[in-house]
A and B are shown apart, each in its own frame.
Chain A
Amino acid sequence: MLQSIITQFLSGFSVVAILVIAALGLAIIFGVAGVINMAHGELIMVGAYTAAIVGKLGGNTFAAIPVAFVVVGLLGLVIERGIIQWIYDRPLETLLATWGVGIILQVLVKLIFGPELYYAGAPKILEGGFRVIGRLPFPWYRLFLIVMAISLLLLVFYVIFKSDFGLKVRAVRRNRAISGCLGIDTARVDMTIFAFGCGLAGIAGAVLAPIKSVSTTMGFPYAVDSYMVLVLGGVGSLWGVLAGGALIGESETILSFIFNNVIGRLLVFLFIVVIIRVVPRGIFGFYERR
């Protein structure tokens, strides 16, 4: 019994990793650009379909990651230039507009690919698992997800806080007008950061496709979870993504073991609602954007 609980706890790490990977793209778009992107789930879905196609063409997940990044990033560029750039000052309206984008993406993918499920396989090298404790092995792929989550967090940290580009992004977010006066091309920064966030969502899709199934409706649950992670952890904070993901992921896994999947999820949601009442900006929500 104790073994099962420990195994559960460890597999909870992989759930945390999944949440973090899914939420990072949204953290950039929501936290940094201030856009409520209701199409986040669909962007993940497009990334997953890209991975499925790459798989059909003979590649594996490792190859799919950069491809998905580029494909969904370009898609994000199109969305930003076409729609988002006009409505930065109206966050609640970005919600509506991106909901429309999400619907269009879903239907287009369905029309192009048909409604059947697609199959995106994990790379052979990552199959199977290694024994940690107890009877069940810990799957390599889940370990890969954990590694992926950490790397992506570090990547985003580097881009936002250590790079030149990141400096510009933070400047534009603090004060757009002055940044423009100082010679920063704000439109270019907006474009790039939005595309970057979308690209991250694409990577999430490519990486998550092998463990679930690829279908046109797979995105919505990921979007919901990502919002919960951000709201709990605090918008605009990388620590927040990690904290939110960790709290939600582990609680859901442990509660699911004790009760069942649905009650676990229910309790986690209730838990989030309660926490938000107490800490409205989220746990790490210092850098609040009004």
Chain B
Amino acid sequence: MAEAVVRNEADQGPTSGKPASANRRQYRPPKFLPLWALIGGVIVVALIGSYPYYGSSAYVLSLLGKFLCFGLFALSIDLIWGFTGILSLGQAVYFGIGAYFVALSLKINYAMDHPTRYGGKFPDFMEWNGLTELPHFMAPLVNTPFAVVCALVVPTLLALLFGVITFKRHIYGVYCAVITLAESLILQDAIIEYQAYTGGFNGITDYSNYATPAFLWFILAVCVLFLIVSRALTHSRVGTVLKSIRDNDVRAEFMGYNVANYRIFVFCVSAFMAAAAGALYAAWVGIISFLDAGPVFSIEGVIWTAVGGRGTLIGPFIGAFLVKGAEFFLSGALASWWQIIVGGLFIFVVLVMRDGIVGTIGNLLRKWRKGATLEEVMEDSDRRAHDRQLDWQPGGPPPADEPVR
């Protein structure tokens, strides 16, 4: 008969005399929106949104809006990759479709008031491609709100289609990545080919853009909204299931969760987000081309997420701002050297800083404040649970769980 193992005082459970906060290595789940995050978020939003009032450069203003859209796009990638483990190299498909709907609508409206060099009251790229008037199937796009709705709904439906076909057949991992890459290429090639309808290689240019301070606030509002939605999603039970799918989908399947459905769901949500980012981008920037729907842009989004920190929500924004920001402010020869640094950064992030910038900062902070990283805390918790199992005496009370505070 095994002797009762002398236990640590700390393991005595709620009846122990020690206050809970003294046990710093115990796991406490995070709150939905801690005060720190709220204050920090408000400061950042205020700083960005009020730039037009204290800043003087119109160029920086245009960049801010752009980067926010990029950050939102990266966030959509983070949702499916950082939280659910689906690597899609074709996320730009949804971004691009959203962008093209909005851009086409704005361009059609613009052309009605600003005739082309030949006098036509429809987009100039259609004219030099030989069309004589606006194609009938594009007529509904004159109504911009309708176009915005299309911009959001069509990519989501497309994602639903892709998701059903791909995830129900359990295509995952590398194959999923390559298939989505192919889809992105198909869209890019189609855009270039059917240039009578899409502007082709030139893209859609020269329509009124909305690069005003008010619109910047609007973009900020949308970003904050999506951040909150993402937080709600990832913080909930659904989020936990998604993370378990990311960590081991076979196990999740065995636990009874319909992995394919969860994947399809999060894929659609992320497509909606990417489409929203694209729509905002088209309205803000005033020029759209096939690049925004192609594989290079998709992979860039993955890079920003990886650099910033996948599995975090702010990470994608930081990654986009950091990588793109430097690129935009450097010119000439410096830009080439920056490219090398960026390439090195990816390698560095993969090899060393696996959680990205935000993730690593978070790890360090946690270690400093709590004395342990989450990994260590979880190991500790596992070890204590294991000990409780070992200490169980036959006939005695079942090993109790640790209370969660």
Residues of A within 8 A of B (CB): 36, 38, 83, 86-87, 91-93, 95-97, 99-104, 106-108, 110-111, 224, 227-228, 231, 235, 262-263, 265-266, 269-270, 272-273, 276-277, 280-281
Tell whether B154 is near chain A: CB-to-CB under 8 Å: no
Q: Which of A36, A83, A95, A111 contacts B336 (CB 8 A)?
A: A111
Q: Which of B182, B193, B302, B344 contacts A272 (CB 8 A)?
A: B182
Tell me the smallest distance from the CB of A241 to a CB of chain B, in Å: 15
B303 touches A99 (CB 8 A): yes
Distance A86 CA – B186 CA, assembled complex (angstroms)? 34
Residues of chain A contacted by B158 (CB below 8 angstroms): none
Tell whether B108 is near chain A: CB-to-CB under 8 Å: no
Q: Which of B179, B182, B347 contacts A83 (CB 8 A)?
A: B347
Residues of B within 8 A of A (CB): 87, 165-166, 169-171, 173-175, 177-179, 181-183, 185-186, 189-190, 192-193, 295, 299, 302-303, 306, 336-337, 339-340, 342-347, 349-351
- 10 closest A-B pairs by CB: A100-B346, A103-B343, A104-B343, A100-B343, A97-B350, A100-B347, A262-B193, A107-B339, A269-B186, A93-B350
B306 touches A96 (CB 8 A): yes
Tell me the smallest distance from the CB of A229 to a CB of chain B, in Å: 11
B339 touches A231 (CB 8 A): no
Residues of chain A contacted by B173 (CB below 8 angstroms): 91-92
Tell me the smallest distance from the CB of A100 to a CB of chain B, in Å: 3
B179 touches A101 (CB 8 A): no
Distance A277 CA – B339 CA, assembled complex (angstroms)? 37
Residues of chain A contacted by B299 (CB below 8 angstroms): 38, 99
28 contacts between A and B (CB under 8 A): A83-B351, A91-B173, A91-B174, A92-B174, A93-B350, A95-B177, A97-B346, A100-B342, A102-B343, A103-B340, A103-B346, A104-B344, A107-B339, A224-B295, A231-B178, A235-B174, A262-B189, A266-B186, A266-B189, A266-B190, A266-B193, A269-B185, A270-B186, A273-B179, A273-B182, A276-B171, A277-B166, A277-B169
B171 touches A108 (CB 8 A): no
Tell me the smallest distance from the CB of B253 to a CB of chain A, in Å: 15
Q: Given A36-B177, A100-B346, A103-B343, does the pair A269, B303 have CB atoms closer than 8 Å?
A: no
B182 touches A103 (CB 8 A): no
Tell me the smallest distance from the CB of B308 to a CB of chain A, in Å: 13
B349 touches A96 (CB 8 A): yes
Please indicate which of the listed interface residues A108, A111, A266 has the most CB atoms of chain B within 10 Å of its own CB: A266
Residues of chain A contacted by B182 (CB below 8 angstroms): 228, 231, 269, 272-273
A107 touches B343 (CB 8 A): yes
Distance A99 CA – B192 CA, assembled complex (angstroms)? 25
Grouping DSSP codes into helix (H, G, I), strand (E, B) and loop, the A interface class, with mixed when no group exceeds half, is helix
Residues of chain B contacted by A263 (CB below 8 angstroms): 193
Given A38-B299, A100-B347, 18 further pairs, Cβ under 8 A:
A83-B347, A91-B174, A92-B87, A92-B177, A96-B306, A96-B349, A99-B303, A100-B346, A100-B350, A103-B342, A106-B339, A231-B175, A231-B182, A262-B193, A269-B182, A276-B171, A276-B179, A277-B165
Tell me the smallest distance from the CB of B202 to a CB of chain A, in Å: 16
Closest to B168 in A: A277
Distance A107 CA – B334 CA, assembled complex (angstroms)? 12
Tell me the smallest distance from the CB of B396 to a CB of chain A, in Å: 40
Tell me the smallest distance from the CB of A255 to a CB of chain B, in Å: 13
B175 touches A96 (CB 8 A): no
A36 touches B179 (CB 8 A): no
Q: Given A231-B175, A280-B175, does the pair A96, B186 have CB atoms closer than 8 Å?
A: no
Q: Which of A100, A101, A103, A273 contacts B186 (CB 8 A)?
A: A273
Q: Which of A101, A231, A276 contacts B347 (CB 8 A)?
A: A101
Tell me the smallest distance from the CB of A209 to a CB of chain B, in Å: 23
Tell me the smallest distance from the CB of B191 to a CB of chain A, in Å: 11
Tell me the smallest distance from the CB of A267 to a CB of chain B, in Å: 10
Residues of chain A contacted by B344 (CB below 8 angstroms): 100, 104
B174 touches A280 (CB 8 A): no
Closest to A266 in B: B189
Tell me the smallest distance from the CB of A220 to a CB of chain B, in Å: 8
Q: Which of B171, B193, B351 contacts A97 (CB 8 A)?
A: B351
Closest to B295 in A: A224
Q: Given A95-B177, A96-B349, does the pair A273, B183 have CB atoms closer than 8 Å?
A: yes
Tell me the smallest distance from the CB of B204 to a CB of chain A, in Å: 19
Distance A262 CA – B171 CA, assembled complex (angstroms)? 28
Distance A265 CA – B179 CA, assembled complex (angstroms)? 15
A96 touches B302 (CB 8 A): yes
Residues of chain B contacted by A110 (CB below 8 angstroms): 336
Please indicate which of the listed interface residues B303, B339, B347 has the most CB atoms of chain A within 10 Å of its own CB: B347
Distance A280 CA – B175 CA, assembled complex (angstroms)? 8
Distance A263 CA – B189 CA, assembled complex (angstroms)? 8
Tell me the smallest distance from the CB of B254 to a CB of chain A, in Å: 16
Distance A281 CA – B170 CA, assembled complex (angstroms)? 11
B186 touches A95 (CB 8 A): no
Residues of chain B contacted by A100 (CB below 8 angstroms): 342-347, 350
Distance A215 CA – B177 CA, assembled complex (angstroms)? 27
Tell me the smallest distance from the CB of A11 to a CB of chain B, in Å: 22
Distance A64 CA – B392 CA, assembled complex (angstroms)? 72
Tell me the smallest distance from the CB of A282 to a CB of chain B, in Å: 9
Distance A2 CA – B174 CA, assembled complex (angstroms)? 42
